[in-house]
């Protein structure tokens, strides 16, 4: 879950990855709460990761002794996908893929492993493959979990009415925390931010498990909604609560740095991002640090980070092309050529044809001098029901470039009504040669 206003000539910030935490393998959908039970003791990111490492290592040892135990293989794959979500690193995806590939091919084995395969494919943005795996499950996956994943696939494929119908149906059947989360994400991206925040609060009240990562994730998502509404102090307070729930999580620290930057504490943001960028092979954090350095008094210091990030992006594009296209697009919008960014944006929107990737596609077209085509993509997003401050801010800039000032003013007003900081947050990269902007 990542997620991370750039000046003219740079891209808008990458959007957070919206991933609903799944129940630990073998856990039930609901957790019975004992009011007399003590509150969970905060566990640091390092401790949470260590616990995951121990569980996965133990499972791998068991698999060595029981290589034909496909239930154990499936549950280990689910743990690997969850650890990858926590760390933002790709090694676990490779291991999970190898484990699934080693299973002897048969329809029975496909069904037994379907949940692990479907969740891995979904995490890697292979949505058609995830649908295929899900269809093979039969009775090997809980009905509600299968329906929820099918709805998630529909959502990220741009099929919002279908996703909404399933989300609402699941919510009506049983008010579990995960169903409130899914509906919150849907409302968030279709313009009902207050309702989305209330739904996430309801999800928090219904979660009584001991997972520090889930408690931190819920606070983080509430902070991101406050951020999207331009409520910086509330966002920062929620990020601090997320840090209290699981101290040291890089995703929370990255969002804190972004608030500090927007509040004017650029030095504090840079110090935090320098630590984060140096702490692991996460190129999107290196991109953020490079942007801060390039905007500051030492722009030359950005170049080593740009080169290092680009090398990792390119390696990931080779290893996991579907999952890596989004962050790589943002990198090349900021630091590459318009042609590179546009090619990657086309790849990403073909994989996940939904609001965020469509808006990025419009931004890439605009930077490539194709403002007319960018406007058509903007209209497509607007017609779909997607409704975010980012959409309206990008639309305002595209229409202004086309000389459509009345429409640009209306979009700007809508963006600022949703988020007073929107026109600072979502500045799109300008065409390399503005005089060549095409109206077509």
Q: Where are the domains of the chain?
A: 324-440
Task: Report the C-alpha gap between 95 and 76 in whole angstroms.
Answer: 10
Cβ atoms of 375 and 394 closer than 8 Å: no
Cβ atoms of 373 and 440 closer than 8 Å: yes
pLDDT of residue 26: 41
Q: Is the pLDDT of residue 91 over 90?
A: yes
Each residue of 65-82: pLDDT tens digit? 999 999 999 999 999 999
Angstrom CA distances, 26 to 45, 74, 180, 258, stand at 23, 11, 21, 37
Reported confidence tier of residue 174, pLDDT bands at 50, 70, 90: confident
Give me the sign of the Cα torsion angle 127, 128, 129, 135.
Answer: positive
pLDDT of residue 41: 63
Task: Report the C-alpha gap between 66 and 64 in whole angstroms.
Answer: 6
Each residue of 249-288: pLDDT tens digit? 999 999 999 999 999 999 999 999 999 999 889 999 999 9
Between 246 and 429, where is the model more confident? 246
pLDDT of residue 14: 35
**Cα 122 versus chain centre, distance:** 12
Cβ atoms of 77 and 102 closer than 8 Å: no
Alpha helix positions (H), 368-440: 371-384, 389-401, 405-418, 422-425
Record the tokens describing residue 293, joined without a space: 């350095």
Task: Report the C-alpha gap between 125 and 22 in whole angstroms.
Answer: 17
Say if pTM beats, i.e. exceeds, 0.85: yes
Each residue of 106-153: pLDDT tens digit? 888 899 999 999 999 999 999 999 999 999 998 899 999 999 999 999
Task: Report the C-alpha gap between 404 and 420 in whole angstroms.
Answer: 22
Reported confidence tier of residue 433, pLDDT bands at 50, 70, 90: low
- Mean pLDDT (the chain) is 90
pLDDT of residue 121: 98
Question: Among residues 291, 326, 284, which one has the least CA distance to residue 7?
Answer: 291
CATH architecture observed for domain 324-440:
Alpha Horseshoe (1.25)
Q: Is the pLDDT of residue 171 over 80?
A: yes
């Amino acid at each position: 879950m990542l997620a991370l206003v750039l000046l003219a000539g740079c891209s808008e910030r990458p959007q957070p990855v919206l991933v609903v935490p799944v129940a630990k393998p073998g856990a039930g959908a609901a957790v019975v709460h004992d009011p007399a039970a003590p509150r969970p003791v905060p566990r640091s990111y390092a401790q949470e990761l260590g616990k995951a490492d121990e569980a996965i290592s133990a499972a791998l040892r068991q698999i060595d002794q029981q290589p034909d135990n496909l239930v154990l293989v499936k549950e280990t794959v689910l743990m690997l996908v969850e650890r990858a979500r926590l760390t933002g690193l790709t090694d676990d995806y490779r291991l999970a893929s190898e484990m699934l590939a080693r299973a002897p091919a048969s329809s029975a084995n496909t069904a037994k492993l379907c949940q692990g395969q479907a969740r891995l494919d979904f995490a890697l943005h292979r949505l058609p493959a995830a649908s295929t795996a899900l269809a093979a499950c039969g009775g090997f996956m809980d009905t509600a979990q299968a329906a929820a994943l099918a709805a998630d696939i529909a959502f990220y494929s741009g099929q919002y009415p279908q996703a909404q119908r399933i989300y609402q149906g699941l919510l009506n059947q049983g008010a579990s925390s995960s169903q409130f989360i899914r509906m919150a994400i849907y409302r968030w991206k279709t313009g009902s931010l207050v309702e989305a925040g209330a739904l996430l609060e309801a999800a928090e009240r219904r979660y009584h498990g001991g997972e520090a990562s889930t408690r931190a994730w819920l606070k983080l998502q509430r902070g991101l909604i406050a951020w999207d509404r331009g409520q910086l102090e509330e966002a920062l307070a929620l990020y601090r609560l997320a840090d209290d729930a699981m101290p040291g999580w890089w995703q929370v620290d990255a969002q804190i740095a972004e608030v500090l930057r927007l509040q004017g504490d650029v030095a504090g943001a840079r110090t935090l991002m320098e630590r984060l960028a140096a702490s692991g092979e996460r190129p999107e954090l290196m991109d953020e640090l490079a942007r801060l350095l390039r905007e500051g008094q030492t722009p030359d210091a950005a170049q080593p980070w740009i080169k290092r990030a680009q090398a990792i992006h390119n390696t990931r594009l080779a290893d996991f092309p579907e999952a890596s296209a989004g962050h790589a697009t943002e990198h090349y919008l900021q630091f590459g050529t318009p042609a590179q960014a546009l090619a990657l944006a086309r790849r990403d929107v073909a994989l996940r044809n939904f609001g965020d990737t469509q808006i990025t596609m419009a931004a890439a077209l605009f930077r490539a001098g194709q403002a007319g085509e960018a406007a058509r993509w903007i209209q497509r997003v607007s017609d779909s029901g997607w409704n975010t401050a980012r959409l309206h801010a990008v639309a305002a800039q595209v229409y202004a470039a086309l000389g459509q000032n009345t429409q640009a003013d209306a979009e700007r007003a809508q963006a600022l009504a949703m988020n007073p900081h929107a026109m600072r947050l979502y500045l799109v990269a300008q065409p390399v040669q503005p005089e060549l902007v095409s109206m077509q």
